[in-house]
Amino acid sequence: MAETAQQIADDLRARIDSGEFAPGDRLPGEPALVRQYGVAKMTANGALKILVAEGIAQARTGSGTYVREFKPIVRDAVKRLARSQWALGSSIWSADVEDRPRDVADLDVSEIEAPKWVARALGLNEGATVICRSRLYLVEGEPVQSAISYLSADLVRDTQIAQPDTGPGGTFKRLEEIGSAPERFEEDLRARMPSAEEAERLQVPAGTPVVEIYRTAFTGDGRPIEVNRMLLDAGSYVMRYRFES
């Protein structure tokens, strides 16, 4: 029985994991896969598309399919939100990428009427306004995450949070300075397929899933102070959670 596209992709993935194909190497093209596995061209093409969708490989028009050189980002949910991270002036973003080249693009800060779901999440009255911070994160020149955070305008309008540069320690450090330090966080996470607009913004190939995360930050007395909607390229991240029993 001829191999399926999934079986060929599994075999190629194992060869990548073993080091037979290193980052940046060109993978066998459709004609080579047809000969090696005795399958139709469509099946060979499907196998390569699976690897591209998983973020393991990248297709280059007119050249072929190559093992992706980008090293996955380890997103440690506990480490990045620890007070020791932002209280000393480091951004939680730096906890993810450490010393890798990183940048923030398309930064937009505005005061808007709170969308209904944001008002509910922050316990605001209908018609209340929020400071909205929208940005796109890049690592080594590649977009990996878009994020939009919302905070009550009455709380932060006259602080650096309402400015493009929030300063050392970012939003959480500024919240601490006004007596509203985040003490607890909740994250809801799901994987889904992106819309066309989302795929274009993150520059992910067709068929590549994204990870959507909604995070709410609370003060020590349980007051919600920030809600953040993040969209991550699933092929660029490893999600790490550490627990104690």
Per residue in 79-88, pLDDT tens? 888 888 888 7
Q: What is the pLDDT of residue 163?
A: 96
Same structural domain, 21 and 89: no
Q: What is the pLDDT of residues 124-162, one digit of tens each?
A: 999 999 999 999 999 999 899 999 999 999 999 999 999
CA atoms within 13 A on the CB side of 38: 3
Round to whole Å and give the CA distance between 15 and 5: 15
What is the band of 208 on the pLDDT scale with cuts at 50, 70, 90?
A: confident
Q: What is the pLDDT of residues 17-55, one digit of tens each?
A: 999 999 899 999 999 999 999 999 999 999 999 898 887
Q: What is the pLDDT of residue 158?
A: 94
| 245 is a domain residue | no
Same structural domain, 49 and 120: no
Task: Name the pairing type of β-strands 237-240 and 184-192.
Answer: unpaired
Q: Are 124 and 152 in contact (CB under 8 A)?
A: yes
Determine the average pLDDT of the residues in 189-204: 92
Determine the average pLDDT of the residues in 195-208: 87
Number of domains in the chain: 2
Q: Which residues are CB-neighbours of 45 under 8 A, at least 6 positions away?
A: 5, 30
What is the band of 2 on the pLDDT scale with cuts at 50, 70, 90?
A: low
Same structural domain, 182 and 159: yes
Domain-terminating residue out of 18, 47, 67: 67
Supply the range of the domain harboring residue 58.
Answer: 5-67
Q: What is the pLDDT of residue 97?
A: 84
Quick check: helix, strand or coil at residue 183?
A: coil
Same structural domain, 196 and 90: yes
Same structural domain, 52 and 167: no
Determine the average pLDDT of the residues in 179-207: 91
Portion of the chain with pLDDT greater than 70, in percent: 99
| 49 is a domain residue | yes
Same structural domain, 194 and 83: yes
Domain-terminating residue out of 67, 92, 121: 67
CATH of the domain at 107: 3.40.1410.10
| 122 is a domain residue | yes
Same structural domain, 146 and 236: yes
CATH of the domain at 37: 1.10.10.10
Q: What is the pLDDT of residue 139?
A: 93
Same structural domain, 100 and 173: yes
Same structural domain, 231 and 194: yes
CA atoms within 13 A on the CB side of 214: 7
The residues pairing with 230 across neighbouring beta strands, listed in sequence order, are: 147, 213
Same structural domain, 210 and 109: yes
Q: What is the pLDDT of residue 229?
A: 98
| 215 is a domain residue | yes
Q: What is the pLDDT of residue 243?
A: 80
Average pLDDT, the chain: 91
In Å, the largest CA–CA distance within the chain is 69
Q: What is the pLDDT of residue 1?
A: 58
| 203 is a domain residue | yes
Q: Which residues are CB-neighbours of 196 under 8 A, at least 6 positions away?
A: none
| 24 is a domain residue | yes
Q: What is the pLDDT of residue 104?
A: 93
Q: Are 2 and 37 in contact (CB under 8 A)?
A: yes
Same structural domain, 119 and 192: yes
Q: Are 105 and 138 in contact (CB under 8 A)?
A: yes
Same structural domain, 124 and 179: yes
